[in-house]
Amino acid sequence: MPFQTEPPFHHGQAERTAVLLCNLGTPDEPTAPAVRRYLADFLGDQRVVEIPKLAWWPILHGIILRTRPAKSAAKYASIWTPEGSPLAVWTAKQATLLRGWLGQAGHSVLVRHAMRYGSPSIASQLDALKAEGATRILILPLYPQYSGTTTASVFDAVYSWAARTRSVPELRFVNRYHDHPGYIDALARTIETHWKHHGQPDQLVMSFHGVPERTLHLGDPYHCESLKTGRLLAERLGLRKDHYQITFQSRFGKAKWLTPYTQPTVEALGKAGTRRVDVVCPGFTSDCLETLEEINMEVREAFLHHGGQEFHYIPCLNDSTHWITALSQVAQQHLAGWPTSVPDAAALADARAKALAGGAPAGVCPVAH
Q: Which residues participate in the annotated binding site for Fe(2+)? A: 209, 290
- How many C-beta atoms lie closer than 10 Å to residue 303's C-beta? 26
- Residue 165, SS3? coil
164-168 — which CB contacts under 8 Å span 24+ positions? 164/1, 164/2, 164/3, 164/4, 165/3, 165/4, 165/6, 165/126, 165/130, 166/3, 166/4, 166/6, 167/6, 167/9, 167/130
Provide the annotated binding site. Answer: 209, 290
298-306 — which CB contacts under 8 Å span 24+ positions? 298/263, 299/207, 299/249, 299/262, 299/263, 299/266, 302/263, 302/266, 302/267, 302/270, 303/266, 303/267, 303/269, 303/270, 303/277, 304/270, 305/267, 305/270, 306/266, 306/267, 306/268, 306/270, 306/271
Going by C-alpha positions, the residue among 42, 44, 45 that lies closest to residue 61 is: 44
Going by C-alpha positions, the residue among 18, 173, 171 that lies closest to residue 99 is: 18
DSSP H helices, 80-221, are 86-104, 122-131, 151-163, 181-198, 213-217
Q: Which amino acid is at 44?
A: G
- How many C-beta atoms lie closer than 10 Å to residue 214's C-beta? 12
Name 105's Cβ contacts closer than 8 Å, sequence gap at least 6: 328, 332
- Residue 67, SS3? helix
The angle subtended at Cα 237 by Cα 233 and Cα 242, nearest 5°, is: 85
- Torsion 170-176-182-186 (CA) sign: positive
Cα separation of 331 and 136, whole Å? 13
